């Protein structure tokens, strides 16, 4: 995939999200439903009892849909039920727990990758982030609006909920199947995967794709989130304020992090217009990755790189020609 088309696809996507979504919604860090989290947001993770979860399963022609009550309760009924779409391989040799990106409303962007992974013998468990897709509250204008906005306290709780839901999904998959499990995250989903791995010793194998690395930097410098920055500034927030609010959520800012004990592979596009190359360099300089895969692709069309699925397979220690 050439540089010009990769950059073009990303630019069109950024402009569309800003024009059709972010520019039409305003949020405030004041008068939130939520209380700001101060200190370790994940200190009660050991209290999660996934064996007590009641997991509902609906079988459809092309997939299964799992749902369960989130351990983090919010004022939004739709968001309190975590959802997972399962795409099963015919002769499975492993399970991929996959987490999507921010503000998404089209699962079709993963069709090519999921199909390739299934052909390689990998089941795919695609988890919905809080406030996205079916978890979007009825009063929300678009998927992911309440996940990341100038309502800083709500965004904190969305991060916590995403990490706890992801932990629950990993446990559900491990208890359901004896096959090896690899946590795979794209963009914001990659960041959620890193956060979980940093606080949970038992999560060992990760494959992150075009992953967000520093949440505060993304919020303040990304051209995608310029409207959110403007909202924050209009209420007197500065970069140091958002940095302080997110410090305990940043994957690489946590004390006693387990990240350096994990098998992690990074995959990223050389022409990414959403996550900067310097942010990938920051990840590479601070995590001992088992492998770093560079692709001639942007943020979005990396999902259609033919060898991506095979590289994910290699993360399991398997190798098979596509």
Helix (H) or strand (E) holding 242: helix 239-246
- Higher per-residue pLDDT: 317 or 15: 15
- Higher per-residue pLDDT: 248 or 49: 248
116: nearest Cα among 316, 319, 315, 305: 305
Q: For domain 3-49+87-314, which architecture applies?
A: 3-Layer(aba) Sandwich (3.40)
Please give the pLDDT value at position 320: 59
For residue 207 the two structure tokens come to 């494959």
Q: Rounded to an integer, what distance in angstroms lies between the CA atom of residue 10 and that of residue 298?
A: 7
Q: How do residues 82-105 score in pLDDT, each as one tens digit?
A: 999 999 999 999 999 999 999 999
- The residue to which tokens 């050991």 are assigned: 46
The answer to whether residues 41 and 47 touch, using CB atoms and an 8 Å cutoff, is no
Q: How do residues 39-87 score in pLDDT, each as one tens digit?
A: 999 999 888 888 889 999 999 999 999 999 999 999 999 999 999 999 9
For the sheet with 64-69, list strands across it. Answer: 56-59, 64-69, 81-87, 122-127, 94-99, 181-186, 205-209, 263-269, 291-295
The structure's pTM equals: 0.95
Average pLDDT over residues 287-311: 97
Bridge-partner residues for 182, per DSSP?
A: 96
Residue 322 has pLDDT above 50, yes or no: no
């Amino acid at each position: 995939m050439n540089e010009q088309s990769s950059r073009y696809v990303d630019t069109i996507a950024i402009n569309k999200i800003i024009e059709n979504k972010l520019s039409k919604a305003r949020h405030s860090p004041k008068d939130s439903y939520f209380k700001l989290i101060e200190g370790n947001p994940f200190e009660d993770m050991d209290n999660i009892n996934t064996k007590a979860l009641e997991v509902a399963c609906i079988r459809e022609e092309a997939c299964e849909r799992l749902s369960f009550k989130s351990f983090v309760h919010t004022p939004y009924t739709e968001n309190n039920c975590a959802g997972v779409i399962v795409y099963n391989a015919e002769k499975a040799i492993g399970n991929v727990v996959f987490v999507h990106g921010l503000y998404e409303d089209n699962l079709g962007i993963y069709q090519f990758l999921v199909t390739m992974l299934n052909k390689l013998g990998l089941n795919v468990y695609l988890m919905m982030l809080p406030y996205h897709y079916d978890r979007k509250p009825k009063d929300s204008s678009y998927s992911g609006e309440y996940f990341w906005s100038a309502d800083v306290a709500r965004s904190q709780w969305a991060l916590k909920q995403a990490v706890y839901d992801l932990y629950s999904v990993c446990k559900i998959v491990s208890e359901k199947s004896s096959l090896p499990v690899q946590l795979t995250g794209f963009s914001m989903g990659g960041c959620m995967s890193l956060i979980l791995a940093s606080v949970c010793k038992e999560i060992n194998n990760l494959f992150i794709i075009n992953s967000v690395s520093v949440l505060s930097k993304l919020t303040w410098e990304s051209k995608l989130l310029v409207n959110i920055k403007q909202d924050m500034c209009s209420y007197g927030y500065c970069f140091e304020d958002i940095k302080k609010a997110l410090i305990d959520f940043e994957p690489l800012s946590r004390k006693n992090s387990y990240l350096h004990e994990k098998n992690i592979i990074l995959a990223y596009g050389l022409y990414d217009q959403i996550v900067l190359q310097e942010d990938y360099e920051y990840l590479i300089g601070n995590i001992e990755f088992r492998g770093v895969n560079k692709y001639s692709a942007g943020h979005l069309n990396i999902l259609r790189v033919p060898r991506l699925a095979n590289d994910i397979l290699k993360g399991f220690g398997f190798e098979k020609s596509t």
